[in-house]
């Protein structure tokens, strides 16, 4: 009985990990360091097959940067999340 309970606990904790990781990624920080890190990742996309994704991610990052300047942090986070999605990292 104890083995069954322990196995159930381990299974529950392992199955919840991807959900927590996805939620963490969706909560992009809207600060200069995070934006520079994201832009570096976008600039590193050199595969010609990824050109469209790179352009979309760059547009989202420009909108995120504009939102940050306007102190619209929720919009900034949304655009950064969209940039991550465009890159296929989410």
What CA–CA distance (Å, rounded) separates 21 from 71? 27
pLDDT in tens, 1-15: 555 554 556 555 555
The pLDDT of residue 10? 52
Q: What is the value of pTM for the model shown?
A: 0.65
pLDDT of amino acid 24 = 42
pLDDT tens figures, 20-79: 344 444 567 889 999 999 999 999 988 888 889 999 999 999 999 999 999 999 999 999
Confidence category of residue 81, pLDDT binned at 50, 70, 90 = very high
CA 4 to centroid of chain Cα atoms:
36
Token pair, residue 60, equals: 């989202």
């Amino acid at each position: 009985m104890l083995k069954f309970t322990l196995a159930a606990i381990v299974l529950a904790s392992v199955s919840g990990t991807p959900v927590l990781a996805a939620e963490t990624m969706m909560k992009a920080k809207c600060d200069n360091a995070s934006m520079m890190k994201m832009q570096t990742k976008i600039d590193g996309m050199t595969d010609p097959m990824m050109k469209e994704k790179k352009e979309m991610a760059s547009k989202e990052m420009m909108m995120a940067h504009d939102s940050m300047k306007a102190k619209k942090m929720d919009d900034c986070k949304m655009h950064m999340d969209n940039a991550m999605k465009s890159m296929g990292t989410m």
